[in-house]
Amino acid sequence: MRLSVLQVIAALFAAVCLVIAFIAAGVAVVSGVFMLLAVAALGFIAWTALRRAFGRDRQRPPTPPAPPSGS
C-alpha cells in the first residue's frame, strides 16, 4: 500500500506534535521541581523565623533599661 502525500504530511505533523508535547511535559516537570524547591525554601524560612520568635531564647529575662544620663 502506497502512502499519499496527505498521509505523509499528517504523519510528520503528528511527529512534530509529539515532540512538542514531550518538550512541554519536560518543562512542566522542571517547573514543578523548581516550585517544590521554592516551597521548601519558604517553609525553611518560616520555620526558622518561628523557631527564633518562639524558641527558648525569648524566655531570658529582659535586660534592665539604661539609667538616664544626667544633664
CA-to-CA separations, 47 to 20, 23, 34, 56, in angstroms, rounded: 40, 36, 20, 15
Indicate whether 58 pLDDT > 80: no
Residue 64 Ramachandran class (φ > 0 left, ψ -120 to 50 alpha, else beta): beta
Three cell numbers, residue 64: 534592665
Q: What pTM value is reported for the model? A: 0.58
Question: Quick one: what percent of the chain has pLDDT higher than 70?
Answer: 87
3-state helix, strand, coil in the chain (%, to 5): 75, 0, 25
pLDDT, position 71: 62
pLDDT tens digits along 12-28: 999 999 999 999 999 99
Residue-wise pLDDT tens digits, 26-44? 999 999 999 999 999 999 9
